Amino acid sequence: MINKCVVIGLGGIGMAYDYELLDEEKILTHSKALKLHPNFDLVASVDLDSFKRENFKSKYSCPVYKDIDTLLSENLSIDIAIIATPTEFHFDNIKKIINIKGLKIILCEKPLSSSHEDSQKIVKFCNENNIRLFVNYIRKSDISTKIIYDKIQSSEFETPIKGTVWYTKGFLHSGTHFLNLLQYWLGNVTHFNVINNGKQINNYDSEPDVHLSFEKGEILFLSLLESNYSHHSMELYASNGRLKYDQAGYVIEWQSIVEDINFPTYKVINSEITQIKNDLIRYQWNVYCEIVKFMNNQDHCLCTAEEALVMQKTVNEIFNSRSSN
């Protein structure tokens, strides 16, 4: 079955990240993934910017509209709508697009909205209209994520786990990429403690240092200044080895525990590294492959609306605690 799709928002992940890339293997945007994937048909897009609209029309040769109201006036039948606009517009945009004829799925960029309250309302709108809602946490759909999950479940990576996450550009905007992975691997957050309030970066996001307790581990989130450089990494220590999730997930390494060659009564982390496969150069393609699994009633690795709400509730509580310190 071919699913008709519309992309709302032609910024970075909507269209721009791979617009001029010569490497066809890299699939980093919704537009490119939908154009190439055999199960989807990119039938339209929406953006307020006339320059972006012209670029889209030139590359993808399908209709592009200046706003959602104009799209709705065309009375198109669409199966899947992708929300790739700035976070502060997600709520209003989703309220409008649920009126698209035949709409079955909404894939919304992360975070779902700028507040937990608005996210709850969005989920309610979708449920009332029988629309399935997913949030585009791309790393959840990468092959490495399921590999690591299976190794934790089988105790090949032993729990409890301790670790550190480094992030930039806001806990809600970027830190939740890792929160999403860790909730999948280690279970729900059971407790948190804000160590440093960090910087307020806009009216709905900030950069606290925070210690989070999960069902199967303890993780310290630490922020760095985006103005210096962008950096996202994670280092997890099990009792039988170390997992390094480096360069935002493009390099993932496991090191087991071995006897120290100099001091036989001691055990140390092995200098030999086992690489864990990832496919992040096609991260957006991978998300749509998971959507196909969902539509075929198969197990999938997508971030559901319910998962996103649990995450945002945790973030909301962290921010409230931060503001009271």
Per-residue confidence (pLDDT) for residue 80, from 0 to 100: 98
| Cα gap 288→286, rounded to integer Å | 5
DSSP string of 180-204? HHHHHHH--EEEEEEEEEEEE-SSS
Q: What is the pLDDT of residue 322?
A: 72
Whether residue 50 is predicted with pLDDT greater than 90 in this model: the reply is yes
Task: Check residue 1 and give its pLDDT.
Answer: 79
CATH number of 143-278: 3.30.360.10
Residue 26, pLDDT > 90, answer yes
Q: Which of 132, 48, 129 is nearest to 86 (CA)?
A: 48
The CA-CA-CA angle for residues 100, 103, 107, to 5°, reads 105
pLDDT digits (tens, 9 = 90+) for 183-242: 999 999 999 999 999 999 999 999 999 999 999 999 999 999 998 999 999 999 999 999
Phi, psi (deg, nearest 5) at residue 189: -70, 130
pLDDT of 323 over the 90 cut: no
Tell me the pLDDT tens digit for each residue of 254-293.
999 999 999 989 999 999 999 999 999 999 999 999 999 9
Alpha-carbon torsion (2, 306, 127, 13), positive or negative:
negative
pLDDT for res 246:
98
Give the model confidence (pLDDT) of 293-315 as tens digits: 999 999 999 999 999 999 999 99
Residue with tokens 């997600």: 90
Using the predicted structure, report yes or no on whether residue 23 has a pLDDT greater than 90. no
- Mean pLDDT value across residues 65-73: 97
Q: Which two tokens stand for residue 21?
A: 């890339």
| pLDDT value for 24 | 84
Please provide the CATH number assigned to the domain covering 3-136. 3.40.50.720
76-112 per-position pLDDT tens digit: 999 999 999 999 999 999 999 999 999 999 999 999 9
Question: Residue 21 — pLDDT band, cuts 50, 70, 90?
Answer: very high
Which pLDDT value is given to residue 70?
97
d(CA 128, CA 22): 43
- The pLDDT assigned to 325 comes to 54
Q: Is the distance from CB of 189 to CB of 214 less than 8 angstroms? A: yes
What integer pLDDT is reported at residue 212 of this predicted model? 98
Closest CA to 109 of 4, 29, 184, 171: 29
Per-residue model confidence (pLDDT) at position 324 = 57
Domain locations in the chain? 3-136, 143-278
The per-residue pLDDT for 22 is 83
Q: What is the pLDDT of residue 264?
A: 86
